């Protein structure tokens, strides 16, 4: 009996020592290392800027204070960068990624062959989201979804499979609105000018923060109206404007509208590869969370006028999994509506 107890005690001591050693190795792993953030966009854009502010602040919260650099890898609507982080980059926690959130909907609807699974990344955290809203001009006579059911509403859009075109198509199906998309615009700035010229009545992907910052008089004077929010929750200053999921009248349409809303809500989220050890994923998630409440980081973010809407890595992981779990039948139905 004494021998058995001694054996068990020895085993426990060795196990605890091993766990302690593993923790020490994890804490010391990044010392002297150079980490990388692979950004699926060219230098100089909004996503790129979010990554570059991270390299200035995140190292302070990672044991060993590693250096972090940005590698821009544009191509295939950021799918090239995602495939690199998923399949090619070292799976040791030294390479993070930043991709366009539309990859979530692309995978859920199987719009193109992917070399990665968005749900299998280890998500570290979200810095911010970008609230897009459907806006109409005052001359359109449309100030609500109810108004849009009574008359045709010409909206600007970029491409058939872009959010600017898919959202109006989804709302026409789910609510009976009469949105008609005019394709070929280059982006929000282009569509804003077209709305000012009277070419279109509005568009579905107006960045609300940009409008309230750059054109506040449009909101206060009623020159534009926000008709819907592409989000899963109402913004405080748009408490009277419905989100996409709120406009669904049955479970099937709710699934479609939630997918579109969740895609936008994913925002600027950072993952590491699918085979990164769990202890390093946990370390990076903790470091990211500490950075997001750090006064120096918040001061820098305010200087660049960033939207701050932190979501923990665990929450992003759950969020992405919920949006990516469509059956083949559900996927086929939604694709038929959004991409006829």
Asked if residue 241 lies in contact with residue 228, where contact means CB atoms within 8 angstroms, the answer is yes
> pLDDT tens digits for 71-123?
999 988 788 999 999 999 999 999 999 998 888 888 888 766 678 999 999 99
**Among 262, 288, 319, where does a domain finish?**
262
pLDDT value of position 6:
42
pTM, 2 dp? 0.77
Domain boundary among 262, 285, 312: 262
What is the rounded CA–CA span in Å between residue 36 and residue 315? 23
Q: Where residue 71 sits, what CATH number does that domain have? A: 3.40.190.150
| Whether residues 254 and 274 fall in one domain | no
Residues contacting residue 78 through CB under 8 Å, at least 6 positions apart: 40, 41, 99, 100, 103
Determine the pLDDT at residue 224: 96
Long-range contacts of 185-190 (CB under 8 A, 24+ apart): 185/156, 185/157, 185/158, 186/158, 187/158, 190/156
Residue 4 pLDDT: 45
The pLDDT tens digits for 241-269 are 999 999 999 999 999 999 899 888 888 99
Q: Domain range holding 151? A: 132-262
What CATH number is attached to the domain comprising 230? Answer: 3.40.190.10
Low-confidence ranges of the chain (pLDDT < 50): 1-24
Q: Are residues 118 and 182 in the same domain?
A: no
DSSP state letters, 30-78: TTT-EEEEEESS-TTSHHHHHHHHHHHHGGGGSTT--EEEEEE---GGG
323 and 273 fall within a common domain: yes
The predicted pLDDT at position 100 comes to 84
Instruction: Report CA-CA distances (Å) from 338 to 149, 166, 211, 253.
Output: 19, 5, 27, 11
123, part of any domain: yes
- The Cα–Cα gap between 175 and 182 comes to 20
Cα 327 to Cα 339: distance, rounded to the nearest angstrom: 17
Predicted local distance difference test score (pLDDT) of residue 214: 84
Residues 144 and 233 in one domain: yes
**Same-domain check for residues 78 and 121:** yes
């Amino acid at each position: 009996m004494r021998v058995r107890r001694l054996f068990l005690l020895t085993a426990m001591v060795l196990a605890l020592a091993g766990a302690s050693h593993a923790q020490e190795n994890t804490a010391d792993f990044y010392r002297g290392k150079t980490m990388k953030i692979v950004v699926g966009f060219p230098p100089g854009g909004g996503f790129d800027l979010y990554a570059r502010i991270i390299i200035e602040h995140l190292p302070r919260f990672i044991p060993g204070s590693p250096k972090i650099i940005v590698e821009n890898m544009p191509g295939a609507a950021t799918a090239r960068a995602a495939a690199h982080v998923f399949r090619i980059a070292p799976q040791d926690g030294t390479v993070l990624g930043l991709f366009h959130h539309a990859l979530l909907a692309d995978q859920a609807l199987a719009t193109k062959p992917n070399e990665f699974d968005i749900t299998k990344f280890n998500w570290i955290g979200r810095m911010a989201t970008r609230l897009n809203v459907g806006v109409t001009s005052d001359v359109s006579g449309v100030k609500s979804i109810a108004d849009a059911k009574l008359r045709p509403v010409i909206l600007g859009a970029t491409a058939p499979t872009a959010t600017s075109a898919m959202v109006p198509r989804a709302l026409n199906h789910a609510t009976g609105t009469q949105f008609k998309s005019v394709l070929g615009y280059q982006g929000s700035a282009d569509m804003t000018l077209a709305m000012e010229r009277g070419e279109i009545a509005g568009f579905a992907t107006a960045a609300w923060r940009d409008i309230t910052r750059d054109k506040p008089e449009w909101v206060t004077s009623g020159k534009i109206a926000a008709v819907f929010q592409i989000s899963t929750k109402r913004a405080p200053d748009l408490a009277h404007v419905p989100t996409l999921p709120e406009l669904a009248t049955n479970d099937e349409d709710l699934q479609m509208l939630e997918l579109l809303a969740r895609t936008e809500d994913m925002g600027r989220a950072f993952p590491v590869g699918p085979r990164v050890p769990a202890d390093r994923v946990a370390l990076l998630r903790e470091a990211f969370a500490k950075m997001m409440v750090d006064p120096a980081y918040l001061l820098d973010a305010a200087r660049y006028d960033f939207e701050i809407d932190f979501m923990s890595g665990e929450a992003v992981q759950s969020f992405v999994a919920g949006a990516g779990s469509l059956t083949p039948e559900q996927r086929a139905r939604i694709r038929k509506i959004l991409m006829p």
